[in-house]
Amino acid sequence: MAPLNYRHLHYFWVVAKEGGVTRAADKLGVAAQTISGQVALLERALGVSLLAPAGRGLTLTEAGRTVLSYADRIFSLGEQMLEAVESSAGESALRLTVGILDALPKLTAHRLLQPVMALDRPVRLVCYEGELDELMSDLALHRIDVVLADRPVASSGSLRVFSHALGEYAVSLYAAPALAARYAPGFPASISGAPLMLPTRTNALRGRLEQWFDTHELRPAIVGEFEDAALMDTFGRHGLGLFPALTMLGPEIEAQFGARAVGELDGVSEQVFAISGERRIRHPAVEAMLAAGAARVPVA
């Protein structure tokens, strides 16, 4: 048998992880025909079919699942090799690459990552923001070490992931000073009819907020829905309406956005999870983040 071509193997690995040739081509920035050709060469070299048509997509054959399991280990070892070489070459800083769900407020991500920057050794922090599916693909490809999200993620197919709870935090409503002064007295009854901004329904917090309003028989006037929490905060700073954020972030919100607390939403909480590709965390920076989360007192 001819020596294994690792470029061909890598293309197959990405196709398997991404679930198709087109998505793999987008991920790698090459033409789909190139991907198909490289995988075909790998199949020819191995003498087996690795992928089979399934509806409009592809599925792994038995041989494909076997090759994928070895490819996972091969490319994982490759990442470890690079880290080891960097370390032996005098790289003193600990590198942590974090994927942050775009719906997660930036101030929340900053607060959760503070323990990482307080480690005894220097840390080189690399942060990416995106949608959950995109971040999970990068996690599977070992491009990032951990994902910060507002919901747990279950393993699926060949992707094994583990959700580590970082905490559950109380939520308050905030507003520009004039609005806060108007609606804080008599809270929560005072906010019925108040202008309100909410996260879109893709955010796990949205359902909890709506349930709280229903429970208290309150009907605020929704004036905006935002996928990006930072954009919602910006509109809130300029007085468009009340907006939700973590209670513990009150001082930062007042300092950064000039907004003040209107009132705490009793029983409403924001959950945050660290998603990793391993059950037992070995990265010291992620360990520090989890330890800090475990030390916080949950609201529920």
Distance CA 246, CA 62 (A): 48
Among 116-120, 250-254, 287-291, the range of highest mean pLDDT: 250-254
Distance CA 99, CA 191 (A): 35
- Residue 82 scores a pLDDT above 90: no
- What is the model's pLDDT at position 184? 96
Mean pLDDT of the chain: 86
- What is the model's pLDDT at position 297? 42
Q: What percent of the chain has pLDDT over 90?
A: 42
- What is the model's pLDDT at position 121? 82
Q: Write down the domain spans for the chain.
A: 6-83, 92-300
Q: For the segment 153-184, what is each residue's pLDDT rounded down to a tens digit?
A: 887 766 678 898 888 899 999 999 999 999 99
C-beta atoms surrounding 159 within 10 Å: 16
Domain 92-300 has CATH 3.90.320.10: no
Give the pair of three-digit tokens for residue 274: 């660290």
What mean pLDDT comes out for the span 265-287? 85
Per DSSP, which regions of the chain are E strands?
51-54, 57-60, 94-101, 123-130, 146-149, 162-175, 195-199, 221-226, 243-246, 260-276
pTM, full prediction: 0.65
Among candidates 193, 179, 116, 118, which has minimal Cα distance to 148? 116
What mean pLDDT comes out for the span 131-153? 86
- Residue 256 scores a pLDDT above 60: yes
Q: For the segment 89-120, what is each residue's pLDDT rounded down to a tens digit?
A: 555 678 889 999 988 888 889 988 988 888 88
Answer yes or no: are the C-beta atoms of 63 and 48 closer than 8 Å: yes
- What is the model's pLDDT at position 225? 95
Burial 276-294 (b: 16+ CB within 10 A, else e): bbeeebebebbebbbebbe
The class (CATH top level) of 6-83 is mainly alpha
- What is the model's pLDDT at position 141? 77
Among candidates 124, 118, 56, which has minimal Cα distance to 86? 124
Q: For the segment 187-245, what is each residue's pLDDT rounded down to a tens digit?
A: 999 999 999 999 998 888 999 999 999 999 999 999 999 988 888 988 998 999 999 99
Distance CA 275, CA 139 (A): 9
Q: What distances in angstroms separate CA 183 from CA 190, 246, 249, 262, one per listed residue? A: 6, 18, 20, 7
Distance CA 5, CA 43 (A): 11
Range from 9-13, 34-38, 171-175, 285-289 carrying the lowest mean pLDDT: 285-289
The region that residue 266 occupies, defined by phi over 0 for left and psi between -120 and 50 for alpha, beta otherwise, is beta
Answer yes or no: are the C-beta atoms of 76 and 83 closer than 8 Å: no
- Residue 13 scores a pLDDT above 80: yes
More confident residue, 57 or 97: 97
Supply angle C-alpha 68, 71, 77, rounded to 5. Answer: 150
What mean pLDDT comes out for the span 113-133? 87
